[in-house]
Structure 1
């Protein structure tokens, strides 16, 4: 399997560590190793009347990748967290309509999850990731490595260095107990972007680790890709 190790910037040690630093809002310029990146737009306050088309996952900026995934992962309470989930029961919790996120773990041992992914949606997940200060990312990425396979075939992993994001945590989120549930911070890690997988059953294996702060992520996903059942169908 393809393995990544890169000196750069790095799972909030919570997949995945927690610390923060002042940074601009998510709709301002984001920084990835000093390179300007377009930060993502805030999610709509109200759901659209009709589903949005699937995102072109490979065109997302570092800020869009990391802002989107972290706000999904931190948007659930600990008792319904896809990151703390050990069976896949909460795989669909808080998902968006035009992309499907998958979670790693907080580094507490291997897990096996069964998850249904809607047909036609791209998939995004980290091998390892963290949020904190830019200096935390620098240390983290020095030792971050990982790999993923889909049905035995290796998937390309991409290192994304320290990027400014605005993190919104749900009350009771497993990612920190700060009274302030909105903070400016930095995120970094090794990421996998998948085009919409073919319908049917798939086996996805995710592995990642970083010796600083000392975490290992290991998840076996049993994925079923299928069209959603229409509301009211019998």
Structure 2
């Protein structure tokens, strides 16, 4: 699995090379906190994904129990160590893409929080 990063609430453009044969996963908009945080967040969560100008439907995760591993200086957790949380959001999992270039546009929003990433992806040809 090849994971693509979301944002902390801004719009960015990125390029990424992906090895051939790797499925891809990424958030459209997501959060971790407690169950009530996720319930509030998911009540207005929405998003769109375009892969090579074709719509891809995100999967909805209302609130799954997860374990977060925080490292010193990590902007996501704000604390070190392992702790339980609830993870929620809209996510996409794609099968491996054909070798070549692909355009991926991700837009997500919940209440006043929004994200956007435009990826220029290059799937590398297999070296077999």
Task: Tell me the TM-score normalized by structure 2.
Answer: 0.94
Partner residue in 1 for 2:73: 172
Q: Distance in 1 between matches of 2:36 and 2:96?
A: 35
Report the count of equivalent residues: 128
How far off its partner does 1:176 sit?
2.9
Give the 4+ runs in structure 1 shifted more than 4 A: none
Hey, which of these two has a bigger chunk of strand by percent? 2
Q: Distance in 2 between matches of 1:176 and 1:106?
A: 12
Instruction: Give the unaligned 5+ runs of structure 1.
Output: 1-98, 230-234
Q: Deviations over 1:26-76 (max 9, x none)?
A: xxxxxxxxxxxxxxxxxxxxxxxxxxxxxxxxxxxxxxxxxxxxxxxxxxx
Partner residue in 2 for 1:215: 113
Partner residue in 2 for 1:133: 34
The one of 97, 100, 104 equivalent to 2:6 is 104
Q: Distance in 2 between matches of 1:167 and 1:160?
A: 17
Instruction: Give the unaligned 5+ runs of structure 2.
Output: none
Q: Deviations over 1:64-104 (max 9, x none)?
A: xxxxxxxxxxxxxxxxxxxxxxxxxxxxxxxxxxx100111
Change (3 A) 1:201 1:186: same
Partner residue in 2 for 1:206: 106
Hey, which of these two has a bigger chunk of helix by percent? 1
Task: Tell me the TM-score normalized by structure 1.
Answer: 0.53
Q: Indicate conservation of the 8 Å contact 2:70/2:78, yes or no.
A: no
- The structure, 1 or 2, with the larger RCO (C-alpha pairs under 8 Å, 6+ apart) is 2
RMSD between superposed Cα atoms in Å: 1.5
